[in-house]
Amino acid sequence: MRSSHRVSGWIAMCALSIGIASAKDLSGQERATAAGSGLVGSPAPRLSLTTIDGQKIDLGALYGKKAVYLKFWATWCVPCREQMPHFQRTYEGAGSDLAVIAINAGFNDSLGEIRTFRQRLGISMPIVMDDGRLAAAFNLRVTPQHIVIGRDGRILYVGHLADAQLDAAVAAARSTPGGAPSGATAGAAATRVAHKVQVGERLPAATWQTLDGHAFHVRSGKPGQPTVFLFLSPWCESYLATTRPTVSANCRAAREQVEKLARDSHVRWLGIASGLWASPDDLRDYQAEHKIGIPLTLDESGALFRQFGVMDTPTIVLVDAQGKVIRRVEAGEVGDLPGAIAAL
């Protein structure tokens, strides 16, 4: 009975702490709490995972038996690195009633970088590199983002800090009664493996809203007008300048190339910004700082990044006048962009 009240209290606390500031001013903890507002209290998704070492983990099989603690992180993320000792201690003290799993966000990271990071920091918990399904199911908005699931299979807590609140949530999760949860799982639709648009395929008709409120019709350009999508992150150039200088330089080079090439009115442009660590206000600040002239849209849920299979920024997708994807220009190929545009 006592543990039930404690769990209810954590759910209420998560729900009540939303909406305390504008999106631009939210801290990492507040952004994570906002992301979890629709998740806390709902049954967690039943997904099958594979670690970077080939180990299979069935989340659904854990529910009803163990509490589960998932931590989303990235090798370039400073607070992720700072919190790793806490995460490792939690894993070492987990016991038989708690599963601890590290979920690399799969954003501007590689398998080699993850393994190097693991060795350097001496972490030993299972590591999964996300393919976008977990980020969609758990509304990933920041790194690190902690997800605590009770032994009853319901999401108990979503947060950003490694603090007493997180520790208490993990303790509460371990004390919840077992039993498989009932009801629709969180992010059920997002966990389905969506078709990823490949080179040579025609884009489906769709309408996306730009940052300034206009409708961008995917297949409604002028006759004979190709379209170019620039997948970006508004903090790539600044934040990654020290932790990922090559990526930062690629993001800057792509932006500068696009600024020059976008003067050609024969090509239609759209910048698609990741919603990780970004709000509409953050994107507006980025647009104003660099005087970006092409329309922008914020892919807050990550649906467009997943639809195009984009895991790194910058990535540029070229689409011909008939709506067929002709080419992808990846981060290291930004110098080829003028020729690729000319070929359109």
Mean pLDDT of the chain: 89
- Number of domain units in the chain: 2
Per residue in 68-112, pLDDT (tens digit) is 999 999 999 999 999 999 999 999 999 999 999 999 999 999 999
DSSP assignment letter at 248: H
Same-domain pairing of 13 and 67:
yes
156 and 64 in a common domain: yes
Q: Examine the domain organization and report whether 25 and 154 are in the same domain.
A: yes
Please report whether residue 194 resides in a domain.
Answer: no
Backbone angles phi, psi at 146, to 5 degrees: -95, 135
Confidence bin at 55 (pLDDT 50/70/90): very high
Evaluate whether 226 touches 268 at the Cβ level (below 8 Å): yes
| b/e sequence 1-33, b meaning 16+ C-beta within 10 Å | eebeebbeebbeebeebeeeeeeeebebbbbbb
Query: Which among 124, 158, 175 is the end of a domain?
Result: 175
> Is 11 within the bounds of a domain?
yes
Residue 181 lies in a domain: no
124 and 219 co-located in one domain: no
Do residues 262 and 306 both lie within one domain?
yes
- Domain holding 19, by residue range, is 2-175
> What's the confidence (pLDDT) of residue 17?
37
Residues 6+ apart with CB under 8 A from 248: 236, 237, 238, 239, 240, 241
Could you tell me if 131 and 39 lie in one domain? yes
In a domain, 29, yes or no: yes
pLDDT digits (tens, 9 = 90+) for 136-191: 999 999 999 999 999 999 999 999 999 999 999 999 999 988 766 666 566 555 55
* CATH number of the domain that residue 228 is part of: 3.40.30.10
